[in-house]
Amino acid sequence: MNIHEYQAKELYRKYGIPVPQGIPAMSSEEATAAAKKLIDETGNEVVVVKAQIHAGGRGKAGGLKVVKGVEAASKAAKEIFGKTLVTHQTGPEGKVVQRLLVEQGLAIKSELYLALVIDRESRRIAIMASTEGGMDIEEVAAKTPERIHTITIDPAVCHGKPCIRGLRYPVETLLELLSSGMTVDQILADYEDLEADDIYAALDFAARLSHVKRIDHVVT
């Protein structure tokens, strides 16, 4: 299933993951109205006009423009909408831009890369992460692959559940032991291959999960 950036961010927003304010547009006129609405609501005249196509490399192909003011946003939308973008993922025929995303401009403190992809060699889902985020992740992969860290999810280990390091201890097991009243020292005495940092990591994982704004009921 292929979805656009604005659709993915709607899913993020639904589950409490912070994303910039943004409005999808199906024409340059809608993009102009979206820019005005965002500027009025945020008080920030900087907006980003983004092409929405099923391919990466949009920025380098001219499908992303950071502009200031409604007039500049309107001009950028007219330039991008209907344009054929040719990227390393579209093939030489390119893809025609038929949708736009207008987002509020934000100061970038750092750019990180995180992706869940299908590793076709191992036939498993792999989590890829790098501190070298931004548009040039492909160049990072080619020139400095050591800067990209990959973890492959093995369903044979704890049924793919979050577990401690490479050990067969699900995070939920440690949390259950702690909630039963066991101390860290007692757990370490019973499980000699665990370290104190493993238990603290499990608590940190649980704390991060508690930050979500909504937890849907799961029937088991």
pLDDT digits (tens, 9 = 90+) for 20-41: 999 999 999 999 999 999 999 9
Please write the tens of the pLDDT for every residue from 114-161: 888 888 887 888 888 998 886 677 788 888 888 888 888 877 777 778
Indicate whether 96 pLDDT > 50. Answer: yes
CATH number of 5-104: 3.30.1490.20
Name the DSSP class of 132. Answer: -
The model's pTM: 0.70
> Distance from first CA to last CA of the chain, Å, rounded?
26
For residue 219, the model assigns a pLDDT of: 47
- Mean pLDDT for 165-188 is 90
CB 49 within 8 A of CB 80: yes
Q: Report how far Cα 135 is from the mean position of its chain's Cα atoms.
A: 14
- Mean pLDDT for 182-187 is 94
CB 64 within 8 A of CB 50: yes
Confidence band of 214 (pLDDT split at 50, 70, 90):
low
Q: How many residues does the chain have?
A: 220
In sequence order, which residues have a C-beta less than 8 Å from that of residue 176 and are 6 or more positions away? none
In sequence order, which residues have a C-beta less than 8 Å from that of residue 119 and are 6 or more positions away? 125, 126, 150, 152
For residue 155, the model assigns a pLDDT of: 79
Domain boundaries, the chain: 5-104, 113-152, 161-209
